[in-house]
Amino acid sequence: MTGALFVQLVVNGLAIGLIYVMVASGLVLVLGIARVFNFAHGQFYMLGAYATYFLITLFEMNVLPALMIALAIGVFLGGVSYRAVFHYMRGDLLRCGAASIAISMILQQLVSIVLKPTSYGVNIAIFSQIIEIGGVTLLVGRLILIFLCLIVMSGLYYLLKCTKTGKAMRAISLDSTVASLLGINTVKIYWITLALGSGLAAIAGGAIAPLFVINSDMGSNVILIVFMVMVVGGIESLSGAVVAGILIGFLQSFGYHFLTGYAELFMFCFVAVLLIFKPRGIFGTFVKEVY
């Protein structure tokens, strides 16, 4: 394997991985703070992708504003879904799961019906350009993607560490009763969390749109990988999701190149074995309710 190939695979893996990180972070926040299991998270990702696609192709918007709108759509959907559905079943993960599965089925089928052809691909000039760095050919698109994800994740980090809302979110994830006793408006934080998490998914989808082919299945496909990322990273750990997401991005990138057909199988088995030795994930916290 040449050095150039290695770098390409790494960049590829990083790009894919960071997308997974963004989507997974959204779900980790929703699960860890609002205690809601949102299966439809994948569909928010898909809707972000479709929205961006249509904004770029039909309305000839620039990429950046399109992404902003995708983000807004995700935020809106997240907030609405909390208020309309999840608020009443917060904490009961099975019930949330069932409701969100229903929502995800509805969304996926609607998109599949309304937008007849199943896949869409778009070509944006700058994204398909090729750049040469140190003798290695790379797609500019991938680099932009990495850059974008890093910005978003930094923004998230800043939000959680430095803003009042972020601190409130972290307080709630530790102990929501105490948090509310401290005067934090927990309900408001819950729907902010849901809005934020869904927004992350949507913007990740939007970021994917200019680079990869999108279809109505992408939501359910990504959510499975995101589950894996969460388990490997330790379900409620954000840093775990970051590490695990990148790791799985690499696995996918290298795996598809060397193993093609068996890449998925290899990936899942790798994860399964990892879990046998580190059942709580990489950064899993000690959980009392263990059988």
Q: Which residues bind another protein (CB under 8 A)?
A: 31, 35, 37, 85, 88-95, 97-99, 101-103, 105-106, 109-110, 112-113, 175-177, 220, 224, 227-228, 230-231, 235, 261-262, 264-265, 268-269, 271-272, 275-276, 279-281, 284, 287-291
CB-nearer residue toward another protein: 130 or 288:
288
Nearest approach, Cβ of 76 to another protein (angstroms)? Answer: 19
Separation CA 267–CA 34 (nearest Å): 30
Residue 147 or 262: the one with the smaller Cβ distance to another protein is 262
The C-alpha atoms of residue 139 and residue 129 are separated, in whole angstroms, by 6
Evaluate whether 171 touches 182 at the Cβ level (below 8 Å). yes
**How near is the Cβ of 260 to another protein at its closest, in Å?**
11
- Structure token pair of residue 256: 């598809």
> Which of 85, 204 has the CB closer to another protein?
85
Contact 178, 92 (CB under 8 A): no
Compare residues 196 and 231 and give the one whose CB is closer to another protein: 231
> Sign of dihedral through CA atoms 201, 206, 210, 213?
positive
- Please give the full DSSP string across 27-85, using - where no structure is assigned: HHHHHHHS----TTHHHHHHHHHHHHHHHHHTS---HHHHHHHHHHHHHHHHHHHHHHT
d(CA 137, CA 286): 45
Q: How far is the CB of 61 from another protein (least distance, A)?
A: 30
Residue with smaller CB distance to another protein, 240 or 249 = 240
Query: For residues 134 and 183, which CB has a smaller minimum distance to another protein in the complex?
Result: 183
**Shortest distance in whole angstroms from residue 285 CB to another protein:** 9
Q: CB 126 → another protein: shortest distance, Å?
A: 36
Task: Please tell me the distance from the alpha carbon of residue 40 to that of residue 97, in angstroms, as a whole number.
Answer: 9
In the bound complex, what is the minimum distance in angstroms from residue 164's beta carbon to another protein? 21
Of 102 and 131, nearer to another protein (C-beta) is 102
User: Cα-flanking dihedrals φ and ψ of residue 220, to 5°?
Assistant: -70, -30
Q: How far is the CB of 110 from another protein (least distance, A)?
A: 7
**What are phi and psi for residue 90, nearest 5 degrees?**
-60, 130
